Structure 1
């Protein structure tokens, strides 16, 4: 992985950046790390402009030996085959702190006046994992004074229909001291990734306060930053917030209107409870938003999350913190890789199955296969399906006529089309079906989300 920083200075010679970084522009220097090596070099060094590059070379074998046992991997060789050698995240942050330790601390014995001088900086990281979309990079770095350009990287440039990956090409442009810029990168790179490759304890909370104590308290996303940096360990997050904002008002925040996603999850949970379901399959669980709500309710005794994407299941595992759960709680939930359009005997015998915002991601000519696998093979007593109502789309500002809400949607039903599909599906599978609306209802266009609840008939074969 590579990081480059271009600097222009108000002082006489921009090569003075070498003094700040304690790395001479005429040399190529390599430093050993526990998981590989880091090389510092200067592609350009002149009076008006200087560019420094940090190249991190990760040894996957060494990484596998040093990675702690509690780290989760999506397959057996996950310790050795992963994105760590190529993506700028927590390992790059550690390399910054080791290679530029004095610069990060604002120490320059040879030129003590330099650390306090701001530079015009352009920092580029060509491959950064950003779990939360490219907008998250702007939300994190923008309030710190950076102009942010975050360009999503395609999952496969040869197959554009696959869409974007979680990686972005990140460029930051702004004016800051080298110390401030390095400390902000050190904190926010692992926050973008929402992953750390090492154990997080009280010492890590102290590091966060030291590195970000001068700006984190005023950041609008202080909670998100501390939660992700500290791997969602609540006691550590609370201690950092208390230290940074000791006099903060701890009263209850002003209530806000729930999002459509929250309304949708609440509606689905209500239907599952009304049906008396104890064992649930969340088919197309994605990164685990509904799974988290299901798992929080001890009335659901067995929960299975299913998705075709191994990456989504990995995110769900981290969101649920399954590796940290006691065995008894861990036994309540299971994650499986499978497809909604294929028969899977592991999904048979459950009280309920949920397809929340799933069917619109299936090609229309594959819907029949989904109907067969869900309603004729798995045959849960209750099946809950939600999907967008395309008639409501014209109420969204800036949405073009005929556009879908998500680039991966293959279609979006009108209310009449959804009922026609659901009625035929119920008749074919031996179910009764009823309908409900989720979200604010417009007199002419209905609600943004439409829901069908299928109940298997007792006499169904």
Structure 2
């Protein structure tokens, strides 16, 4: 199976520095299912192409399958006895190629380059070609997955037999991606999407795959419109792991749109159960309505899920979203379709880049402010700065704040003991710790407060989310 990566950035041969593979040599690496080769079919100042060729050894592949026998949760091309030796794995790009990618381009995946660190952090023109890609769902699914990531996608279905076109199309596509991205981002996209399109991972999916997926998908997976499909397939349709991953992604950039669930069109429609992220937004919205707020701040708005809810309620006459990340603000603008809103609606909404640990004059004088799943992303020594900026300086009449209840984490299957729900969380509080903090904030800054839970209330460990409503006295 073959994958090529081409750039026309000058000098193009700097691609060798980014991949840590010299263009004048061939490189070979042992991998569990065979040998991975890297070579450069073309390399000059104007254009450079690096090729990754995975030579699969059927005996090694059969041995690898034998070691995982009885544990693979999804059907694969090798699931029947003869299929362990006669299958498409040596020829069609699949999860095997993603594993080789991580072995061969390890430094490049992390965005590291000792010789060209500035270039590693720079978006450059790239073209990726996978001439034979196993793609469940066809070319249309490949376009849905790569298109939102900034790629121009050319995916052509491969016919079963050119001499007999009446036989129709195969399960394979010829994929070409063109775009201007960092090499690290391009490789991380491939690392996730190759097994997603394959939808038949060749290895056992353990709970630590959730952390791996969120780490590799940092910065793009949370806001992807097909994140549900990506998560379910990447985690081999293990419902508990997929649920945990989606919950953690929702904290970064929650959306209401589940990804396409394979076979869903064949099943009778059922009333979906609201996710915790959706129930959080409902609880925050209800608290704002109860407070009679009209001019509202969404502090740390992320991808704009709450903004979308607030825009739909005409009681809120002015809505301001802030975030320290310009990327998050861009996601929020796209989510709420800011450029397409009617003028009257558009005039109600403002997006600001702002850090919550600094006083910002633009945020003073509002009826209410929301901090939804925000404070746990700050290092504890930075919390006093946020407290001063929000409660001491901006001083909205009402503050609605949510944060995880760490006691409830034991109810999340696959979450290791002592681990937080999200890799970026700096802390998670017990109910007693949160109550103590709420009391201190009220006494220090002149607010009264009530605390309640959001989500199913467990008699032993409480609700998964803690919510406090502060009212200025």
Matched residue of 1:86: which SS?
Answer: coil
**1:121 corresponds to which residue?**
126
Matched residue of 1:218: which SS?
Answer: coil
1:92 to 89, 93, 97: 97
**1:37 corresponds to which residue?**
35
The number of residue pairs the alignment matches comes to 258
When residues 74 and 207 of structure 1 are mapped into structure 2, their CA distance, relative to the original with a 3 A threshold, is: closer
**1:48 corresponds to which residue?**
46
Matched residue of 2:3: which SS?
Answer: strand
Matched residue of 2:93: which SS?
Answer: coil
**1:205 corresponds to which residue?**
210
When residues 41 and 260 of structure 1 are mapped into structure 2, their CA distance, relative to the original with a 3 A threshold, is: closer
In structure 1, distance between residues paired with 2:83 and 2:89: 11
**2:59 corresponds to which residue?**
61
**1:2 corresponds to which residue?**
2
When residues 248 and 168 of structure 1 are mapped into structure 2, their CA distance, relative to the original with a 3 A threshold, is: closer
When residues 247 and 75 of structure 1 are mapped into structure 2, their CA distance, relative to the original with a 3 A threshold, is: closer
When residues 141 and 247 of structure 1 are mapped into structure 2, their CA distance, relative to the original with a 3 A threshold, is: closer
**2:392 corresponds to which residue?**
none
Write out aligned runs for 1:290-369 (5 A): none
Deviates more, 1:103-112 or 1:22-31: 103-112
Q: Report how far residue 69 of structure 1 moved.
A: 0.6
When residues 133 and 15 of structure 1 are mapped into structure 2, their CA distance, relative to the original with a 3 A threshold, is: same
In structure 2, distance between residues paired with 1:32 and 1:24: 18
Write out aligned runs for 1:14-413 (5 A): 14-67=12-65, 68-70=68-70, 71=72, 72=75, 73=78, 75-246=80-251
TM-score (norm 2): 0.52
Contact 1:2 1:54 survives alignment (8 Å)? yes
Describe the superposition over 1:325-374 as per-residue Cα deviations: whole angstroms up to 9, x where unpaired.
Answer: xxxxxxxxxxxxxxxxxxxxxxxxxxxxxxxxxxxxxxxxxxxxxxxxxx
In structure 1, distance between residues paired with 2:62 and 2:79: 14
RMSD: 2.2
Contact 2:32 2:60 survives alignment (8 Å)? yes
Contact 1:122 1:171 survives alignment (8 Å)? yes
Q: Report how far residue 76 of structure 1 moved.
A: 2.0
**2:356 corresponds to which residue?**
none
TM-score (norm 1): 0.54
In structure 1, distance between residues paired with 2:34 and 2:265: 42
In structure 2, distance between residues paired with 1:6 and 1:35: 26
**1:386 corresponds to which residue?**
none
Q: Report how far residue 261 of structure 1 moved.
A: 5.2
Matched residue of 2:61: which SS?
Answer: helix
Consecutive unaligned residues in structure 2, runs of 5 or more: 270-473
When residues 52 and 248 of structure 1 are mapped into structure 2, their CA distance, relative to the original with a 3 A threshold, is: closer
Q: Report how far residue 248 of structure 1 moved.
A: 6.4
Q: Report how far residue 198 of structure 1 moved.
A: 0.1
Q: Report how far residue 6 of structure 1 moved.
A: 1.2
In structure 2, distance between residues paired with 1:84 and 1:145: 29
Q: Report how far residue 28 of structure 1 moved.
A: 0.6
Contact 1:213 1:244 survives alignment (8 Å)? no
In structure 2, distance between residues paired with 1:175 and 1:133: 25
In structure 2, distance between residues paired with 1:47 and 1:75: 49
Matched residue of 1:25: which SS?
Answer: coil
Consecutive unaligned residues in structure 1, runs of 5 or more: 267-461
Contact 2:223 2:254 survives alignment (8 Å)? no
In structure 1, distance between residues paired with 2:252 and 2:15: 39
In structure 2, distance between residues paired with 1:48 and 1:58: 33
When residues 217 and 24 of structure 1 are mapped into structure 2, their CA distance, relative to the original with a 3 A threshold, is: same
Contact 1:217 1:244 survives alignment (8 Å)? yes
Q: Report how far residue 45 of structure 1 moved.
A: 0.9
